Amino acid sequence: MAKNQQYCIPSHVAIIMDGNGRWAQKRAMPRFVGHRQGLAALKRIVRYASERGIETLTVYAFSTENWQRPQEEVNYLVNLIHETFSKEIGELHREGVRIVLVGDRSTLSSDILRVWDRAERITAENQGMTLNIAFNYGGRTEIVNAVKNIVTKALAGSISIDDINAELISEELYTSHSPDPDLLIRTGGEQRLSNFLLWQSAYTEIYVTTTLWPDFDEKDFDKALDSYSQRERRFGKVPAKELTK
């Protein structure tokens, strides 16, 4: 980094935690072992991100498409996520982490929703890092729901067509309580968004690493932050220094 360049910490980091299955396959182990190690990596990174002063961390835990995986894997993942909440909620709460489910609640069973409601209720007033967990999440469904809500309001006369703008759409997304992500990290090497935060990522800096998620550690997180700090974010404009020429 140039001497006088300020080190810039992103306020909101989003992560696509990919590569659990490959991590297990490389070791001739069943995929669920990869998910269990993936959870250990997530715990590490939640703690570290909070220490580094990240205000919001959004992680892709389970997509609307993941229900199509073999039933055994789906059951394992859903149980893993819920057991974790039952066990870890106390510690996350002590660390001041606020947990928010970002995803489609309308298709979740009441048993599953109860776990999320409890986690959200207990941590609602916490002032530390916000941990958004994308569960039963799909970016297109999120946008479709937002459009439906807006049209319902327009038909009811509580808003007019002219009130519809980008801010209003953002307010109808599952992530309405959070700013857009500054940095999106994808592990496992694939270079795509996979239906994650489609609207919110319009100007997000993307960092892809071939490291598989279970191996992702504090050093890897720092590398992503270093890379972010060297980016020049222009939001479609020309660099400020060009304007003074």
How deeply is 119 buried, as exposed, middle or buried, from its count of CB atoms within 10 A (0-12, 13-18, 19+)? buried
DSSP for 20-65, please give it: HHHHHHHTT--HHHHHHHHHHHHHHHHHHHHHTT-SEEEEEEEEGG
Q: Which of 20, 59, 84 is nearest to 178 (CA)?
A: 59
Contact status: 18 vs ligand FPP (CB under 6 A): yes
- Report the residue number whose CB is nearest to ligand FPP: 21
The label of the residue with tokens 């982490």 reads 97
Long-range contacts of 235-239 (CB under 8 A, 24+ apart): 235/203, 236/203
SS3 content of the chain, % helix, strand, coil (to 5): 50, 15, 35
**Cα–Cα distance measured from residue 17 to residue 2, given in angstroms and rounded to the nearest whole number:** 31
List 10, 12, 14, 35, residue binding ligand FPP (CB under 6 A)? 35
Residue from 19, 103, 138, 139 in contact with ligand FPP (CB under 6 A): 19
Question: Is there binding between residue 84 and ligand FPP (CB under 6 A)?
Answer: yes
Identified binder of ligand FPP from the candidate list 15, 42, 129, 184, rule CB under 6 A: 42
Rounded to an integer, what distance in angstroms lies between the CA atom of residue 133 and that of residue 17? 12
Among 11, 48, 66, 104, binds ligand FPP (CB under 6 A): 66
User: Could you list the active site residues?
Assistant: 18, 66
Cβ nearer to ligand FPP, comparing 20 with 200? 20
Using CB under 6 A as the binding rule, whether residue 22 contacts ligand FPP is answered as yes
Residue 61 binds ligand FPP (CB under 6 A): yes
Q: Which stretch binds ligand FPP (CB under 6 A): 37-45, 119-127, 153-161, 169-177?
A: 37-45
138 sits near ligand FPP (criterion: CB under 6 A): no
Size of the site for ligand FPP (CB under 6 A): 18
As measured in angstroms, the least distance from the Cβ of 86 to ligand FPP is: 10
